[in-house]
Chains A and B, each alone.
Chain A
Amino acid sequence: MAGPNHRDLLDPAALNRAESLGFVARTIVEGYKVGEHRSPLKGFAIEFAQHREYTPGDDVRHLDWKVLGRTDRLYLKQYEQDTNFVAHLLLDTSGSMAYGSGKLTKLHYAKILAATLAHVILGQRDAVSLGLFGNNARQLFPRTDTPQRLPWMLETLAAAEAAGPTNLADHLARFAPAIRRRSIVVIMSDFLEDEAAVLAVLPRLRFQGCEVIIVHVLDHAELELPFKDTVRFEGLEGEPTLTTRPSDFRKSYQEAVQAYCTAFRRGCERMDCHYILADTSQPPAEVLSTYLAFRNRLHS
């Protein structure tokens, strides 16, 4: 399938909903610039965070004199510092992402989600980086917080094509050291390869303090196997050709897919990662707005 134009990736509906909800860091991210997001680095800025007992060497300018007057104890006032966060949008561009039973392939769907998120995040003056993993190669669009660079990023995104096999877990493992700060990592893939290997990488990202969001993009046909007659299934990543009548084992297939999704979701949740199952039959705007609304509820 020909790659979409980068303007096509910005789904107006998705953008509208995402912008209205904003993209709020679920956990405290380590920003490098004062922004809308709380920083784990508690400083002495505007918004009070907590008290801490004074220890020798502390700056006495932060002593809370009122507490000292009332309790005769030395406490320092700590403030939360608003900061930017960096969102790393990582897309799987392996051959399997080329499948689409409807208008959109899984890759196209993921591109729309990524583009929408990038637009929203940059609009909040946060930073975004883009990683495309596929065909045993990766392409990174460096981190940027400049909205003016969005078109270039989108062009990179639009130019990406699904082809060949990939090892997503390996890509993630190699990508993890490059994340220097605790940030948000959004991984968009169909995770049809070794999901255990992917889950094995997640603890490292979490250990680095990253918030990991797993967007599991699956085509509706992959979930339901709706075909009636005899079908020849040709592998997109070199799998053997299968000629079969799906109606003979549809239920069994659906159960297998459901079991897989459930297991993967639980694996993600064990790592305190958000798991989003994106069915390509649903509008990207709906998937995105549902998730962002969920995040907002967590924050409130």
Chain B
Amino acid sequence: MSFLFPAFLIGLAGLSLPVLIHFIRRKKLQIIPWAAHRFLIASIKRNKQRLQFEDLILLLLRCLLLALIVLAFARPFFKSDLKPGADAAAAGGDAAQVVLLVDQSASMGWSDGVRTRFDEIRDLAETELSALPGGASVAVIAYSDRVLPVIARPTRDFALVRRELARLHPVTRGSDLAPALRAALDLFDTLPRAPRRIIILGDRQKLAWQSREALDTQAKRATDAGVTVTFRAPAGDAPVNLAVTRLEADTADAVSGQPVRFFVEVLNGGTAPASQIRLTLSPDGDTPAAEKMIPTLAPGARMQAEFTLTFADAGYHAVTARVPSDSLAFDDTRTLALRVTAGVRVLLVEGGPPAGSRTRPGFFLAEALAPVPPARRPSFPIQVERISAAEFSAARLTGIRAVVLAGAPPLSAESATALDHFVRNGGGLWVFPAAGDAVAGDPLAALLPAETGAATPQAAGAITPAGPPYAHPIASLWEDPSNGTLTSVIIRRHLPLTLRASADATEKPEVVVKLADGSPLLVARPLGRGRILQSAIPADTVWSDIPILPVFVPLVQRGLAWLQGGASAPGALSPDEALTMRVDPALLGREFRVLAPGRTGTPVPAGRVELVAGQPSVRFTATTEPGLYKIFNDTDTTPLAVFAVNPDSDESDLTPVDPARITALTHEAPVAPGAKPVASSFHLPTWLTRDLWRLLAGTALVLVLAELLLAQRFSRSK
């Protein structure tokens, strides 16, 4: 016999309770001076034997009652008696320890119209549990792209296991089997030696098995530890699963009335080709504003599509890309939040010759910022105000979104302080040097991402920017050669830039574009809520030909868009990815509220604006649920930020794993999907291999009644 909770056996010490109670009651007994002793003594003598017998019966009964209660709590069971030669571990046999690894990734929500794969997983789990003999203990670990211990230690309480399995449901996350397998083996390491078994209950999605090296490591570990690994999967494949796996806007901050380009990617994650796929793009949940028809999509194939939408109103807008609904619903849509602004005012501060001269350092910049004929510039969303350095003052920054310094001489300390404040509160700053050596003692230098050295001498040959890959979003446009190339730019001289060290990781400078020799050409850094760009070359044609090349306009436009993005929320996050967004310092300590996806009405308080890395920020972590989130401050009805949470797009690929991979892990012949495991054989009757606590509890109840009756009977005067 073994016990499910042997620790409860400590309660057997309670057998001394009746005796202790007897002695305690003796201590509290009534003391009576008495005269008629002769009758007492006579009566006691006459009844002594009977009383001793009755007391003994009651004592035994009460001790037995306590013992039964303790045993019932300890949950005893008879060990099953396996047939000789049976593989205990394989059979999940005698006192075997079993870990159920339950796949709860989003792909488990695939439905045949009636039941989901997760429902079938539950059935498989039930089958496995029923096949386990008495004495086996079961732990449950749910996995997706994270590991969730559901029953962290093996238990013999199968009712508990069933309850927990019933509570589990698919989550909108990816899947990775290796960490779950490692967690199960780690658990076995903490348990006493016994036959061990891991039962993986999941679909055969290739994604879960992609960590080949990690899985091989765990498979070896399982073999070394004598752990049997079994894989059970629901029957059938997923023929078609259309998914929107990407939705991006070409800009972080769109301008009202101006077209915005969106990139959408569609995947056929099933095993059969799909045809006539209607891909739509809907702003703000409305009816589709744009659509495209994809004639056919092979299994595993992806299709890119571009859409252009124009937003009439400023503010946050939600854009949803959608494919027709199929058996796996979580990836049929993808949402993006986009901030649309009414227009951008850019202050271009120049040095050098008088206004109107083509040789002024900001001439090409002004043209690139507003690349339209002069007649259309008043209605163009980017309004450029050109001033000389001498005209610059803090008052000029009112309503300005970005400041571009083009060959401007060093500003005064007051002006530098004003710019520092401007950037930290969400403004953008782009610094182009003058064609010449950097002037020492520039009060603005401390803000910039890099320190400048003396200008390089005239290059003998052509120096060009380095080619792809480009990690920074400003330069990512030229990842695609069809958008042109930066390497056509010829640079004759430049200022060497040395990135500054930053204690704050969020304000760490980075290189946007570097030269072919590795020296930075364009560097960037966030500062407070704003962003700064610093160029190694002037924006004129003295040191390079870039202002007259086609790449200059998109570079300036993308740079400006990036500069404005500092105060914006990211358009989309992954599930459980925390949102950290810098906000106005005036909001520090105030409460912020969140309207989660699918909710309407009043937003609920979700936290307070706190200092994150020294900056007043909204930090929101409850992003498990996919959809659109809106964050408000404690008073305004206009959202501080809107962002979307989209599930892992890789999870949409339902391509099955190579069966050989499963065999390599489990050392089992491929099992027919949905096949039932073979139950172990027992010599003991089934009821004896189950928990005996009910029997014990019932007996204890009978004993309670017997004790009450006898105590009542014995207490009658005789």
Contacts and interface: CB of A to CB of B under 8 A. Distances in A.
Nearest to A98: B33
Given A249-B47, A256-B43, A234 B34 contact: yes
B44 A244 contact: yes
Given A232-B29, A253-B40, A192 B35 contact: yes
8 contacts: A95-B35, A222-B39, A227-B30, A229-B25, A230-B30, A248-B51, A257-B36, A260-B39
Interface in A77-111: 95-99, 106
Interface string B679-718: 0000000000000000000000000000000000011011
Interface in B36-53: 36-44, 46-47, 51
B560 to A, nearest CB: 94
Contacts of B42: 256
Main secondary structure on B side of the interface with A = helix
A243 B36 CA distance: 14
A250 B285 CA distance: 89
Contacts of B44: 242, 244, 249
Which one of B25, B41, B54, B714 has the highest number of Cβ atoms from chain A below 10 Å of its Cβ? B41
Given A242-B37, A253-B39, A233 B25 contact: no
Given A248-B47, A249-B46, A192 B38 contact: yes
A236 interface: yes
A254 B42 CA distance: 11
B167 interface: no
A235 B54 CA distance: 27
Contacts of B43: 249, 252-253, 256
A299 B42 CA distance: 41
Nearest to A240: B37
Contact of B33 (A192, A229, A236, A254): A236
A236 B40 CA distance: 14
A227 to B, nearest CB: 7
Main secondary structure on chain A at its contact with chain B?
A: mixed
A96 B33 CA distance: 9
A239 interface: yes
Interface of A: 95-99, 106, 190, 192, 218-219, 222, 225, 227, 229-237, 239-240, 242-244, 247-254, 256-257, 260
A250 B39 contact: no
Nearest to B47: A249
B51 A243 contact: no
Interface string B10-43: 0000000000000001100111111111111111
Given A192-B36, A247-B717, A251-B718, A231 B46 contact: no
Contacts of B35: 95-99, 106, 190, 192, 219, 222, 235-237
A298 to B, nearest CB: 32
A99 B51 contact: no
Contacts of B46: 249, 252
Contacts of A260: 39
A231 B30 contact: yes
A227 B47 contact: no
A260 B37 CA distance: 13
A227 B40 CA distance: 12
B56 to A, nearest CB: 13
B36 A230 contact: no
B32 A249 contact: no
Contacts of B39: 222, 253, 256-257, 260
A98 B35 CA distance: 8
A249 B30 contact: no
Contact of B717 (A192, A219, A229, A249): A249
Contacts of A232: 29-32
